[in-house]
Amino acid sequence: MTHPARPWNFSAGPAALAPEVLAQAQRELLDWRGTGVSVMEVSHRGRDFMAMAEETEQDLRALMGIPDSYTVLFLQGGATQHFAQLAMNLAGPEDRADYVVTGHWSQKAVQEAMPYVNARVAASTEADGFRSVPTQFEVDPQAAYLHFTPNETIHGTEFHHLPESGDVPLVADMSSDILSRPLDVSKFGMIYAGAQKNIGPSGLVLLIVRDDLLRRPGRPMADIFRYARHAERDSMLNTPNTWGWYLAGLTFQWIAAQGGLEAIGARNQAKADALYAAIDGSGGFYTNTIDPTARSRMNVPFRLHDEALDATFLQASAEAGLMALKGHRALGGMRASIYNAMPMQGVQALIDFMGDFARRHG
């Protein structure tokens, strides 16, 4: 379903939501579940909201196949707050933790954790300009956890394999790739994700934490920072982001209606393959210099052969109904974020535009 006046939105985040989700939210805005008011105007402790929250968690568990030994939390603070908070919860003050650094966000994750844990960079691809992901490295067997960022939103790299961490629990910031393909949750100690790419609006963070990690003593801290306290209160220790939680629920239903993560994963692979093929086949007009074995299926950065054409490209693409293609300010160039809500039709519109632009300016 596409509204004719809506552009194809390639924003990295907050990113496009499925039009079906937005339309349902619009329909329910003035009267949610027969309450006569919106979901934002009812108590989170009331029967209707509690039922919606429970359904949303069950839908997510079914989609991702989350084992019973994991707790699902719907919290706040953005992924950034949890860079620090996860270190407070999963490690004691004397503990060590290992980090894999593959770009902007994993670098930030290690920096923010440093006040709370002896964080060590176990592997980094900084030397190659963050164009790859490490395949082999040594993990400290005593580390409280190994943190990595499966998809680097800005640099456009993605792990296509899981880092080997032995008995050390894997902790993954999946802000920009959660729900983009099937995943074996049992391989992880903890998964967390800011909602604003594949889940819903910003201001909501999803956490999936293995119960033994939840029981770790961490360090002395206020209840509001302690994951176990949030778990005891079903993510309602304080007033949750009710609107975000509701939209996440609609998005989970939408993913199920698309055929679940198998179907979504196949679609995402086909979209990424088509876009990279267009870039690689442009005779050097467009380039993506990421190691082909580590290219992101969600965020596709690319450059024009002549930077002087960037402004013209951005203006012409916007006029053609292709929105938010400007690359991150740290890297320049272009970036097309093609999360779940971007259909192949939108990617094809971009590919057609790029081909046409290259013919006119080549």
Residues of each annotated binding site for L-glutamate: 45
* 209 phi, psi to nearest 5 deg: -125, 130
Of residues 153 and 242, the one with the C-beta less far from ligand PLP: 153
DSSP states along 9-71: E--SSS----HHHHHHHHHHSSSSTTSSS-GGGS-TTSHHHHHHHHHHHHHHHHHHT--TTEE
Which range touches ligand PLP (CB under 6 A), out of 78-86, 126-134, 255-263, 272-280?
78-86
Position 242 contacts ligand PLP (CB under 6 A) = no
| Contacts of range 110-116, beta carbons closer than 8 Å, 24 or more positions apart | 110/147, 111/83, 112/80, 112/83, 112/84, 112/87, 113/83, 113/84, 113/86, 113/87, 113/147, 115/84, 116/84, 116/87, 116/88, 116/91, 116/219
Strand order in the sheet with 286-287: 286-287, 299-304, 334-337
Position 194 contacts ligand PLP (CB under 6 A) = yes
Q: Is 243 known to be catalytic?
A: no
Binding mask 154-193 for ligand PLP (x = CB under 6 A): -------------------x-xx-----------------
Of residues 134 and 355, the one with the C-beta less far from ligand PLP: 134
Closest CA relative to residue 177, chosen from 189, 161, 194? 194
Q: At what angle do helices 344-361 and 310-319 cross, to 10 degrees?
A: 130
State how far the Cα of 109 lies from the Cα of 153, in Å rounded to an integer. Answer: 13
Residues sharing a CB contact under 8 Å with residue 258, sequence separation 6 or more, in sequence order: 264, 267, 340
Instruction: Please give the residues from 123 up to 152 whose contact with ligand PLP meets the rule CB under 6 A.
Output: 149
Nearest-CB residue for ligand PLP: 78
**In this structure, how many other beta carbons lie within 10 angstroms of the beta carbon of residue 245?**
22
CB of 85 to ligand PLP, least distance (A): 11
Binding mask 9-48 for ligand PLP (x = CB under 6 A): ----x-----------------------------------
By CB under 6 A, name the one of 15, 42, 79, 272 that touches ligand PLP. Answer: 79
* CA 10 vs CA 42, 81, 161, 308, 342: distances in Å: 33, 25, 26, 22, 8
299-304 vs 334-337, strand pairing mode: antiparallel
* 20 phi, psi to nearest 5 deg: -65, -35
Position 78 contacts ligand PLP (CB under 6 A) = yes
Of residues 154 and 358, the one with the C-beta less far from ligand PLP: 154
* CA 218 vs CA 88, 134, 139, 143, 323: distances in Å: 6, 29, 21, 14, 44
By CB under 6 A, name the one of 35, 80, 111, 348 that touches ligand PLP. Answer: 80
Q: Is 245 known to be catalytic?
A: no
CB of 110 to ligand PLP, least distance (A): 12
Residues tagged in the binding site annotation for pyridoxal 5'-phosphate:
79-80, 105, 153, 173, 196, 238-239
State how far the Cα of 157 lies from the Cα of 173, in Å rounded to an integer. Answer: 13
Of residues 194 and 351, the one with the C-beta less far from ligand PLP: 194
Binding mask 94-113 for ligand PLP (x = CB under 6 A): -----------x--------
Catalytic hit among 59, 177, 197, 245: 197
Q: Is 173 known to be catalytic?
A: yes
Which range touches ligand PLP (CB under 6 A), out of 72-80, 88-96, 157-165, 329-337?
72-80
Instruction: Please give the residues from 202 up to 221 whose contact with ligand PLP meets the rule CB under 6 A.
Output: 202
Which range touches ligand PLP (CB under 6 A), out of 74-82, 158-166, 219-227, 248-256?
74-82
Of residues 199 and 351, the one with the C-beta less far from ligand PLP: 199
**Residue for token digits 């004397």?**
94
CB of 130 to ligand PLP, least distance (A): 13
The residues that touch ligand PLP, with contacts defined as CB under 6 A, are 13, 78-80, 105, 149, 153, 173, 175-176, 194, 202
**Residues belonging to the active site:** 105, 173, 197
